[in-house]
Amino acid sequence: MHAIRIHETGGPDVLQYDEIETPHPDAGQVRVKLHAIGVNFIDTYHRTGLYKLPLPAILGREGAGVVDAVGDGVSDVRVGERVAFVLDAPSYAEYAIVPAQRVVRVPDAVSFEDAAAVILQGLTAHYLCLSTYALKPNEWCLIHAAAGGAGQLTVQIAKIAGAKVIGTCSTEEKARVARAAGCDEVIIYSQTDFVPAVKRITDGKGVAVVYDSVGKDTWEGSLNCLAPRGMLVLWGNASGAVPPIDPLTLMSKGSLYLTRPTLGHYIATREEYDWRANDLFQWLAQGKLRVRIDKTFALKDAADAHRYLESRAAMGKLLLRP
């Protein structure tokens, strides 16, 4: 099979389109013939070495396709079933080997492309809005990068929860996308300082929670947007890692909370994984949740996908097609 691997860390040019042996499932595993593969910022962190992987390594953290082989002892997943997975197998390849207990079934009403586009970012948005900080009706929240793939899903799930949403983005075009996703207010941070804008929108009170995937460039302003006892959910670092923080800063700014969650801890059990995935697929089928796929690249062109993602030009999800 073909797979995108890195043999060293670095820029997009280190991604290699390699031909390797097609793997076979061991006991308790299934093999998925991939139809669609999601591209995420975490893939760039692995590529650059910010998050370490043993080399050589196949990149990718999510995909959707059809089970075409099962290992010994697998009785609850069958050949021919439509499935998706996240985190438990590398996905920049034509096939993936996944633990049978870590695939989720994809309903016929949901395309492989939508499943691959929503499984990592949608599960992330689900846990952010419903668990890390469980949004309440009519509560103000701030979502950075609201026009990106993950941002749009977070906005939509925040609205499903009944919250009022302020989104930030960099351009007028992205502002239109953020509003279409459901933002009540949009701040174009290249034109306006988002901190006073948030205070104005909230009548000086600040927001209950900030969902910040940008990191270095926004985190200090994010703290300053919070109401007393508010929470900064720092769940990404697209602009770079944040510096160390003195806990007394949280006290002085209003007894604030700061957390840095990760998806794996929110889908650790089968029950929680199914709850979140089933919500997503049901909302997709009902039209309550919409996925905006910005571009689809051939698997061999994964380097171009990374360049596009890192350019900050994307207004939606990027996919690879095996």
Instruction: List the chain domain ranges.
Output: 2-119+264-321, 137-260
Query: What percent of the chain is predicted at pLDDT more than 70?
Result: 100
Q: Which CATH class is domain 2-119+264-321?
A: alpha beta
Query: What percent of the chain is predicted at pLDDT more than 90?
Result: 94
List Cβ<8 Å contacts ≥24 apart for 212-216.
212/144, 212/236, 213/41, 213/144, 213/145, 213/148, 213/150, 213/151, 213/237, 213/238, 214/144, 214/145, 214/238, 214/239, 215/239, 215/240, 215/241, 215/242, 216/240, 216/241, 216/242, 216/243
Bridge-based pairing of strands 82-86 and 104-105 is antiparallel
Average pLDDT over residues 210-229: 96
The more confident residue out of 219 and 239 is 219
Q: What is the pTM of this model?
A: 0.92
Bridge-based pairing of strands 82-86 and 185-188 is unpaired
pLDDT of residue 314: 82
Using DSSP, state whether 190 is helix, strand or coil: coil
Across the chain, what does the average pLDDT equal?
A: 96
Q: Answer whether residue 169 shows pLDDT above 90.
A: yes
Phi, psi of 157 (to 5 degrees): -75, -35
Instruction: With cut-offs at 50, 70 and 90, classify the pLDDT of residue 149.
Output: confident
Bridge-based pairing of strands 62-70 and 15-19 is unpaired
Instruction: With cut-offs at 50, 70 and 90, classify the pLDDT of residue 287.
Output: very high
Using DSSP, state whether 63 is helix, strand or coil: strand
pLDDT of residue 249: 96
Tokens at 199, concatenated? 């205070």
Superfamily of domain covering 137-260: NAD(P)-binding Rossmann-like Domain (3.40.50.720)
Look-up of token digits 């650790």: 268
CB burial of 250-284 (b: ≥16 within 10 Å; e: otherwise) equals beeeeebebeebebeebbeeeeebeebbebbbebb
Instruction: With cut-offs at 50, 70 and 90, classify the pLDDT of residue 316.
Output: confident
Average pLDDT over residues 7-26: 98
